[in-house]
Amino acid sequence: MATLPKQPITMPKAAKPVPAPNSDFYELAETLPAEELAVVKQVRTFLETKVAPIITKYWVEDEFPFEVLPEIKKLNIGGVAMKGYDCRGGSTLLFGLLAMEMARVDSSIATFYGVHNGLAMGSIYLGGSEEQKQKWLPPMARWEKIGCFGLTEPLVGSGASGGLTTTAKRDGDTWIINGQKKWIGNAPWCDISIIWARNLADNQVNGFIVENKNTPGFKVEKIQNKIALKVVQNGLITMENCRIPEENRLQADKSFRDTAAVLKMTRYMVGWEATGCAMGAYENALKYCQERLQFGKPIASFQLVQDLLAKMIANITASQCLVVRTAQLDAEGKMTDAHAALAKAFTTAKCRETVAWARELLGGNGIAADYKVARFFADAEALYSYEGTYQMQNLILGKAITGFSAFV
């Protein structure tokens, strides 16, 4: 039987030097005005020099890197996309790109930023009275007071719109709040909690600004043993007869529709985070493939490996185009709940697919935290489920495109 001649082991011809991993393939960052692009670059430098070298250790140890907080404060990115009140301002696109840049290095840092800047500040920005905005937003924009957002409960997640069990009862000039909130990002150490509770008088959901440390009956336990977003500290909040002054009730919020307005804005921000998470996994995997030799060749030179890498950059590029367009719709005041839901569902699903391929490309090293990709792989799971699960987003979208509500 004829045998094939033995091939000498040769390095494949590669464009020399091999290109540095670049996950902004269609140069979307370039669509920002120069001044905003400079902010994105400044944040990228901060992340690559101050966060990337230390974050795996914190992730493994389930701890938040308080050592980088002073540096974050100096970046002047508190209150991005909000006007006035000492906020950074800027475009919705800038907000999104910053979230994406953060998640490209660590999704937990992006989540910390999103919870404070988006969910907590956004609740006051959209639902607060002028006085409340004047009082709370400037110190939050300067990171002197850091916030969280308490909606989910131990027994109520997807069904929060009609099912909150945390109650608020008016008593003179104060409200008495009782209940629990679960999974609340930043809660174990932050200063202010936006707590959503059912008003016993009219059964509608109201928002309250709670000062964690000065409120008797307010207790937070850190949630232990997470496998995703381990750097973000999540809390189980218990409120027993907490007295909150009427002046801390978000004055413009009348029902869950107002809560949903905050979630619409932050939900597509998770789309940016998911896109960034996929970018980080892809860039690390590509670099690994360029350096890792098997059969005497870099594994990046193998067709099946290139097929996965090509599908990863395609996922990322499609996600980037989607969130950029969503940000444009938001800026024009045209973004609907369904637009935000589609962006969140699609990007988180594609992120999950992309990080799994990245993990696969690292072989055994893909499950070791030291090689970074495992962190992106695990963190994608939380992005997929929080701020409304994949199924909830598709129900919102399904209602918009069919005209029938399938919510039970």
Q: Which residues bind ligand FAD (CB under 6 A)?
A: 115, 148-152, 157-158, 183-185, 229, 234, 382, 385-389, 391-392, 408
Min CB(128)–ligand FAD separation in Å:
18
CB closer to ligand FAD out of 161 and 251: 161
Q: Which is nearer to ligand FAD, 115 or 236 (CB)?
A: 115
Closest CB 125 distance from ligand FAD, rounded Å: 17
Nearer to ligand FAD, 21 or 276 (CB): 276
Residue nearest to ligand FAD (CB): 157
Distance CA 323, CA 279 (A): 14
Nearer to ligand FAD, 365 or 389 (CB): 389
Produce one character per residue of 353-384: b if its CB has 16 or more CB atoms within 10 Å, e if not: ebbbbbbebbeeebeeeebbbbbbbbbbbbbb
Closest to ligand FAD by CB, 281 vs 382, is 382
Between the CA of residue 30 and those of 24, 33, 103, 112, 327, what are the distances in Å?
10, 8, 19, 26, 15
Task: State in angstroms the smallest separation of the CB of 321 from ligand FAD.
Answer: 26
Q: Give the shortest CB-160-to-ligand FAD separation in angstroms.
A: 7
Cβ of residue 325: shortest distance to ligand FAD, in angstroms?
Answer: 25
The nearer residue to ligand FAD, 158 or 317, going by C-beta atoms, is 158
SS3 of the chain: the string is: CCCCCCCCCCCCCCCCCCCCCCCCCCCHHHHCCHHHHHHHHHHHHHHHHHHHHHHHHHHHHCCCCHHHHHHHHHCCCCCECCCCCCCCECCHHHHHHHHHHHHHHCHHHHHHHHHHHHHHHHHHHHHCCHHHHHHHHHHHHCCCCCEEEECCCCCCCCCHHHHCCCEEEEECCEEEEEEEEEEEECCCCCCEEEEEEEECCCCCEEEEEEEHHHCCCEEEEECCCCCCCCCCCEEEEEEEEEEEEHHHECCCCCCHHHHHHHHHHHHHHHHHHHHHHHHHHHHHHHHHHHHCEECCEEHHHCHHHHHHHHHHHHHHHHHHHHHHHHHHHHHCCCCCHHHHHHHHHHHHHHHHHHHHHHHHHCHHHHHCHHHCHHHHHHHHHHHHHCCCCHHHHHHHHHHHHHCCCCCC
Residue 184 or 278: the one with the smaller Cβ distance to ligand FAD is: 184
Name which of 184 and 285 has its Cβ closer to ligand FAD. 184
**Nearer Cβ to ligand FAD (20/408):** 408
Min. distance of Cβ 393 from ligand FAD in angstroms? 9
**How wide is the angle at C-alpha 62 spanned by C-alphas 56 and 64, nearest 5°?**
80
Task: Closer to ligand FAD by CB, 112 or 282: give it.
Answer: 112
Q: Is the peptide bond before 245 cis (omega within 30 degrees of 0)?
A: no
Least distance CB 386 / ligand FAD (angstroms): 4
Q: How far is the CB of 398 from ligand FAD (least distance, A)?
A: 10
Shortest Å, Cβ 390 to ligand FAD:
6
> Which one, of 360, 340, 322, lies nearest residue 268 by Cα?
340
> What residues are paired with 178 via a beta bridge?
167
We find the least distance from the C-beta atom of residue 395 to ligand FAD, in angstroms, to be 6
Shortest distance (Å) from residue 97 CB to ligand FAD? 22
Of residues 123 and 132, the one with the C-beta less far from ligand FAD: 123
